[in-house]
Structure 1
Amino acid sequence: MLITIGKVLKPWGVRGEVKIAPLTDHPGRFTSLSRVYLVSPAGAEKECAVKAVRYHQDTPLLLLEGFETPENVRGLAGWLVMIPEEEALPLPEGRYYWFELIGMEVVSEAGEKLGTIIDIFETGSNDVYVMKHAGREVYIPATAEVVREIDRKTKRMTIHLLDGLME
């Protein structure tokens, strides 16, 4: 599985570099890349060797093999920059990538199956998990009070059912 770490914004300079909008909490991770996958808005995929990485005002600029001229990279704006899931940076204990949570089964502390995580969004104080339950969406605050356990291996999230949460 591929995960998204950036999006091509536009060509940069005369060497065929592309300016990247990082979609990661670790923009410095681009310096260690040797290969990326570019995925078009239509779903076309191209594997590319990374020839060089530099930064302009904290924004990554990539030079990709086979795209060494501005003309070659002009059509890449809007393409996603992706890497294999196994190349994701390790996270501290208790932190999760969104791609790990999407599709996860949600159960109550009593073991009752409640639904599946279908989306996540950020708020000012905490993330909110969107669970599909009986054909509708239920919003689960990503707080220690509600989320009791996340098991990556079984893809299962155990939650404490607050009064009114499922209404």
Structure 2
Amino acid sequence: MSNNIIIGKIIKAQGIKGELKVKPLTDDVLRYNKLKTVIIGGANYLVRRSRTDGGFAYLSLGGIDERNKAELLVGEDVCVDRENAVKLPSDTYFIADVIGCEVLTDTGRLVGKVSYVYQNGAADVYEVKCENKSIVMFPFITALNAKVDVLQKKIIVNEQEFDRVAVYED
């Protein structure tokens, strides 16, 4: 497992003093208000100030004190070190830990490996790259009766329900 957890993506520079507008990739945007440091592009930054508004987080970072410097970070992931990440309840996982997991059905059929997770509201949608390089997507819903083991990098789903909800790319 990676030591860094992605918690957001920088979408733009905000204002002239180097503030960053961040799209949160966490279920609680208010967590940003507790950040002390973040990792962006492999570099550590001290969080001087953070605020939230309209579902977005705004960060002022040490060393990023003007718009031009902030614009260089647009498109980068905002990460925290795993030891500083929030503690998750059981049966809840960081997206970073799900990426790369093998998806198998309960009959043993290998579907492929999780390559991306879309957060779309009602249910996360998992994108899986199959061995033949095709893509299959499925909503991660309760009916799949999924068993997730991020340490073993395996997700086992009910085959019948998976076949009902999965969408294969041509």
TM range (shorter): 0.7 to 0.9
Runs of at least 5 residues in structure 2 that lack an aligned partner in the other structure: none
Contact 2:29 2:52 in 1 (8 A): no
**Alpha-carbon distance in structure 1 between the residues aligned to 2:54 and 2:84:** 25
Alpha-carbon shift at residue 121 of structure 1 (Å): 3.1
Residue equivalent to 1:77: 74
Contact 1:140 1:146 in 2 (8 A): no
- Which structure is higher in helix share? 2
Q: Tell whether 2:144 aligns with 1:146.
A: yes
Q: Tell whether 2:27 aligns with 1:22.
A: no
105, 113, 127: which one aligns with 1:116: 113
Residue equivalent to 1:53: 50
Alpha-carbon shift at residue 37 of structure 1 (Å): 1.4
Contact 2:138 2:162 in 1 (8 A): no
Q: CA RMSD in A?
A: 3.0
Contact 2:105 2:157 in 1 (8 A): yes
98, 102, 111: which one aligns with 1:105: 102
Alpha-carbon shift at residue 123 of structure 1 (Å): 5.2
Contact 1:147 1:157 in 2 (8 A): no
Q: Tell whether 2:69 aligns with 1:67.
A: no
1:50–1:108 CA distance, 2 compared to 1 (3 A): same
The secondary structure found in structure 1 opposite 2:63 is: coil
1:48–1:118 CA distance, 2 compared to 1 (3 A): same
1:23–1:86 CA distance, 2 compared to 1 (3 A): same
Q: Tell whether 2:153 aligns with 1:155.
A: yes
Contact 1:106 1:116 in 2 (8 A): yes
Contact 2:18 2:70 in 1 (8 A): yes
1:49–1:158 CA distance, 2 compared to 1 (3 A): same
Alpha-carbon shift at residue 8 of structure 1 (Å): 2.8
TM-score (norm 1): 0.74
Alpha-carbon shift at residue 58 of structure 1 (Å): 5.6
Task: Please give the per-residue CA displacement for 1:11-40, whole angstroms capped at 9, x wherever unaligned.
Answer: 44454433333232211111221111122x
Residue equivalent to 1:36: 38
Aligned residues: 162
Alpha-carbon shift at residue 149 of structure 1 (Å): 1.0
**Alpha-carbon distance in structure 2 between the residues aligned to 1:71 and 1:26:** 29
Q: Between Structure 1 and Structure 2, whose CA radius of gyration is higher?
A: 1
Contact 2:7 2:26 in 1 (8 A): yes
1:133–1:67 CA distance, 2 compared to 1 (3 A): closer
The secondary structure found in structure 1 opposite 2:159 is: coil
* Stretch deviating more after TM superposition (17-26 or 117-126): 117-126
Q: Tell whether 2:90 aligns with 1:93.
A: yes
